[in-house]
Structure 1
Amino acid sequence: MAVADVSPWKTAKDSPSRQLLWELSRLALAEQEASLERLDQACRERGAVLKSALDEAAARHDKVRKDAEAEGARIEQERQRAKARREAEHREQEERERQAEAERDRAARQRAATERAERAATQEREAEQARLKAEKDRQDAQKAKAKQEEEEAAGRRKAEEHRKAREAAAVVSATARSKPTTQLAPSMTGQSIMSTSQRTRLDPEREKEHQRYLEIHSTLKDLRHFMDQQSKQNPTLKAKMGDMRRELRKSVGQLREGRGANTKQVGAPLAKAADSTSILTGEQNKAIWDTLGEALKSFPEPKISLATLIARPVQDVQAPALFVYLLNHFAKAVIAQFIKEAAVSPTIADPIGTAAVNVFARDEHLVNGISLIDILVAKFHRVCPPLFGIYGSESTDQGRERLGWWRELPGGPWVSTQMHHDRMTGLGAGYAAISLRNFESSRMTNPYPPYHYWRTLTGILNVPGGQVTDTHLVVLRALLANSESRFLMAYGESAKQLMQFAVNEYPKRAAKGSVAATLLSNLGNTWKKDKKLYL
């Protein structure tokens, strides 16, 4: 109940002052109530503002909380991912370690197996060496006797060759004295080094011999396939075989002109050649000999028969397959070097030929006293048949095959005429370097005596006139150009007469306008000018 309602003056009517007091009190009370109402309104408004601020603060707090929760979740996810990565890396590391351990175990087992195999092989080699030693002791007398018989046979062959040379020289002298006034027909009726009947008889023999050497060349290809199969079964052999092959090719590629220049490749000088040029040999362990010696010592097995690798009939003997394989690659490198280097500078053929002959002449490289130089000769038969009296037409594919023309690719086009002549020049110079060596002051036996050179010249000079090609003329010039002094030293006046016929009469059998014939004819003038050699 309001104060005004209980005021004692509310109903008082008797006093104006009381009524005024009552009115004043009512005004005071109304003012107070209005003031309180304003205060309440201000409080409500302030409360609303504060509530709005609190709501806004609560909203911001809630956003901050949610952001914090989201960031916390992200951090937790990143931590979990990092943990997963660490665990994966740990598992991978453990797997690598496990694999490495397994690999070490496998390597250890393999080493143990290899050692067992090597021990077994060593025991087998020792047993085989003991057997071979016993066999060698039994065969020593037979070998000495066989060597003596071979030397006697070689002496007889040499004497026979000299006799034939004297007879051929007599025919040449008779031909030169006849001096026909007209050019001879292609049938060579008056200009043969040998008579027509002799040539007819020899041609089939030369063809048969040529085919025999081509068979040897084919057998050597089979040997390469055989060694490839062996290397697949023996990783040690595979690694060493490749290294040895590359070492031989590198050493042959480093051969160069100059006295003693090739000591590193083939050893120190020991004997003399026909022109007083050193034959490079000796006891030093140099690159080529070391490689072949290692093959003989370290890989005596497997062995192969040599009966199919020697042109003449011989008693069947066995030799280490790797050694023969490396000799084959050595011969291949020598032929390649003749083609590459001697075609440009024919004088480089001499040191290459010297190195080649000494490899095949060295006692350690003989098998039962037999040289394996037929491996090299077989390659000459393959790449330069005209050296052995073979002829054919240069206008047909078959004829070019017989003459040793090369193709740019197997089954592809033939090489150019200039490239063919360059190849023939290098091969002719190389053959002369091999077949004109003099071993008179050497303890070794010449594996390819000079009578082979004489036989090659007579074979080319007896090609029927209608069959003489530029290839024969190029090969003949290469054979003679830088070998005249050694040829004269070996055969004397007979050589001079043959050289005279080769440069003066033989070019007349060539086709008219042949550049190769002109170059061969000019060789005589070159000898006069540079060597003071008058034919």
Structure 2
Amino acid sequence: MPAASGASSATMNTRNSFSSSWLGSSPSRQSPVRQSPQRNALRSSRGSLLSDSYESPTRKLQLEFTNILSHSDREFHKKLDQDAAERARLHEEQLARAAREHQRVLEDATREMERIKLEDENERLRKAAVQETELQRLKEQKMREQAEAQQRQLEAKLREEQVAREATEKQRRIQEAAERAKAQKEQEEAARRAKEEQERRAREAAAAPPPPVAKPPPAQALATPSAPAVAAPIPTSAPSTSLAPSADIVEVHKKYLTLHRSMKQFRKQFLAAHKHPTDPLKNIIGEARRNMNKRMGQITVDIEDSKKTIKSIRAECFDVAISAGGPMIDVRPYLISHQITNDADAQYPELLLYLWIMFEKYLVKQWSHEASKEDGRIITQLSLIAASLYLDTKYMSKGTVTMTDTLLAKLHRVCPMLFGIRGNTKTDRAGLGLDKVQPNEADHNAYLQRMFGVGAGYAALTHRKFAQKPPAIPISEYWRAVVLICNTPAEALYPAHFMTLQGLLRDNVRKFLATYGVAAKAVLRRATFDLPNRVPEPRAGVKEERQGLHAAASLVRVLPDVWQAKDNINIR
């Protein structure tokens, strides 16, 4: 061990140092243990002489000094051994610490390796999940693209079929016109020959002049029936070419527009009066309005869902308006078709009137939104809910007068062609409900879609009947709307007329025929054949508006084919 080596070295140095210091000294200064072998041999050969020297005091001192040196040497070696042992102990401790540090480093390295392996595994799983998600997305995208491609193919096929039908119909009309012209020419030729023959015979016989020919009776405009059992005949001649509607139609329209402005002013004043945070009606108004908007957007084709929605609108909106109290208002300025003479009967809750105005706003908006769907079942459900609310005696004025005039005022504003209003789309846009339509294709298409939705909603509302209750709006008003559009001169027509007419007719033909029978079939022929045929064919250089008019007329022209294919209804 290093300690032993160190001890031996120290011993050797000590011995060498003592030997060298004693070589030139006297015998009395030398230690017996430090003498060389030659001197020991000399001492043994001189035994007798040396024995005497041991007995001398000097020899004793040498012995004592030698003992002291030996003791010092032992102590020195002992200390060297202790130092070597201490260094060995420290060395062992350092080795132990090094071993512990090595073990700690090994454990840390092991944990780090496990952590790295776990991270690698997590990263692998994450990449696998991302890859799976991407594969799923690509699969869904591919399926969506395939569905869109199939939809485009179907639409292209439908367009081709429509074009083919239009071409066939056009060819049929051309042939019929040619046949009519030929028949008319033959009749004229026969009449001419008969007249010549008659004149010849008259000259020969010197008879009296021929009797006068009776003029045909003038064409009568389409009549609006007051009851389903009484239906006016439908003339085949063209309507009057006057652009302006009759005076009574304009007068009624002005009254409803005035009512609409009053409703708008009332709504603003009502909200301003209850906007303060401490007002007891402020939170009730906001909650009722939000619930109404939310429920109107939850209507589906499921009848049970519609019943739940009606209950929710009643409980969360209209019943709350009745139970909340609040100020009352004279309702007579908001009625046109009904009269109330008693002041007490004319008192109506302001909150309930406000909710009717908001309901009509949301109803028209939802009609417009659902107009993009292929069928009108949701629009029908919306109209069912509206009719149910309007006919509920709890929400009438004194249980007898409905609030449908507020809805009609809204419709007079957004869709005046329902009520026979005509005009120039360039100079009278406000009067035709076009003042908020921007001159761009997207806004114009949204407007046409809204007109279709309003027509469909109005038709469903007039056809909705309940047991032992009159309809909210009589079906005779539906007849009137269709006839007024049919009587519109060709020069006053614009695309909204045909979009509204399509909404009125598309999903209500069966009920209309069931109500009016043959007279209804005559009106339908007038609406789907005569009216579209009055629109001239598009030509190069014609304004874009006229091109859109022809496209809108085509949508009405194909309705008989749709009814024939879908419901087996033939109106020809």
Shift of 1:329: 0.5
In structure 1, what residue type is equivalent to 2:434?
A: W
Structure 1 residue 371 and structure 2 residue 415: aligned? no
In structure 2, what residue type is equivalent to 1:529?
A: A
In structure 1, what residue type is equivalent to 2:324?
A: S
Distance (whole Å) between structure 1 residues aligned to residue 437 and residue 417 of structure 2: 20
In structure 2, what residue type is equivalent to 1:242?
A: G
1:264-291 Cα distance to aligned partner (Å, 9 max, x none): 1114xxxxxxxxxxxxxxxxxx333442
SS of structure 2 residue aligned to 1:304: strand
Aligned twin of 1:325: 354
Distance (whole Å) between structure 2 residues aligned to residue 460 and residue 467 of structure 1: 10
In structure 1, what residue type is equivalent to 2:234?
A: V
In structure 2, what residue type is equivalent to 1:484?
A: V
Structure 1 residue 388 and structure 2 residue 432: aligned? no
Distance (whole Å) between structure 2 residues aligned to residue 245 and residue 510 of structure 1: 44
Aligned twin of 2:289: 245
Structure 1 residue 171 and structure 2 residue 234: aligned? yes
Distance (whole Å) between structure 2 residues aligned to residue 164 and residue 307 of structure 1: 33
Q: 1:446 to 1:496 in 2, by over 3 A?
A: same
Q: 1:201 to 1:171 in 2, by over 3 A?
A: farther
Equivalent residues of 1:303, 1:318 under 8 A apart: yes
Mapping 1:193-208, distance limit 5 Å: 196=240, 203-208=246-251
Among 344, 356, 371, the alignment partner of 1:342 is 371
Aligned twin of 2:470: 445
Shift of 1:219: 0.9
Equivalent residues of 2:327, 2:350 under 8 A apart: yes
In structure 2, what residue type is equivalent to 1:339?
A: S
Aligned twin of 2:320: 294
Equivalent residues of 1:381, 1:388 under 8 A apart: yes
Equivalent residues of 1:266, 1:288 under 8 A apart: yes
Mapping 1:63-82, distance limit 5 Å: none
Equivalent residues of 1:406, 1:420 under 8 A apart: no
Among 392, 402, 415, the alignment partner of 1:362 is 392
Among 552, 560, 566, the alignment partner of 1:530 is 566
Shift of 1:526: 1.0
SS of structure 1 residue aligned to 2:299: coil
TM-score between both structures, scaled by the size of structure 1:
0.58
Aligned length: 331
Shift of 1:466: 1.8
Q: 1:165 to 1:201 in 2, by over 3 A?
A: farther
Aligned twin of 1:482: 507
Identity %: 26
SS of structure 2 residue aligned to 1:236: coil
Aligned twin of 1:236: 280
Q: 1:314 to 1:265 in 2, by over 3 A?
A: same
1:12-46 Cα distance to aligned partner (Å, 9 max, x none): xxxxxxxxxxxxxxxxxxxxxxxxxxxxxxxxxxx
Distance (whole Å) between structure 1 residues aligned to residue 297 and residue 388 of structure 2: 16
Aligned twin of 1:254: 298
Distance (whole Å) between structure 2 residues aligned to residue 350 and residue 202 of structure 1: 30
Equivalent residues of 1:360, 1:372 under 8 A apart: yes
- CA RMSD in angstroms comes to 2.6
Among 227, 236, 239, the alignment partner of 1:162 is 227
Distance (whole Å) between structure 2 residues aligned to residue 496 and residue 408 of structure 1: 35
TM-score between both structures, scaled by the size of structure 2:
0.54
1:313-356 Cα distance to aligned partner (Å, 9 max, x none): 51251100000001111111101101111243451210011111
Aligned twin of 2:238: 191
SS of structure 1 residue aligned to 2:474: coil
Shift of 1:530: 1.2
Aligned twin of 1:46: none
Aligned twin of 1:518: 554
Distance (whole Å) between structure 2 residues aligned to residue 407 and residue 450 of structure 1: 30
Distance (whole Å) between structure 1 residues aligned to residue 500 and residue 387 of structure 2: 20
Distance (whole Å) between structure 1 residues aligned to residue 433 and residue 339 of structure 2: 29
In structure 2, what residue type is equivalent to 1:428?
A: G
Q: 1:406 to 1:419 in 2, by over 3 A?
A: farther
**Segment drifting more, 245-254 vs 341-350:** 341-350
Distance (whole Å) between structure 2 residues aligned to residue 226 and residue 364 of structure 1: 25
User: With CA pairs under 8 Å and 6+ residues apart, which has the higher RCO, 1 or 2?
Assistant: 1
In structure 2, what residue type is equivalent to 1:510?
A: V
Larger Rg: 2
Q: 1:202 to 1:469 in 2, by over 3 A?
A: closer
Gaps of 5+ in 2: 1-223, 539-549
1:182-232 Cα distance to aligned partner (Å, 9 max, x none): xxxxxxxx234xxx59x9997211111111111111111111122123213
Gaps of 5+ in 1: 1-158, 176-189, 268-285
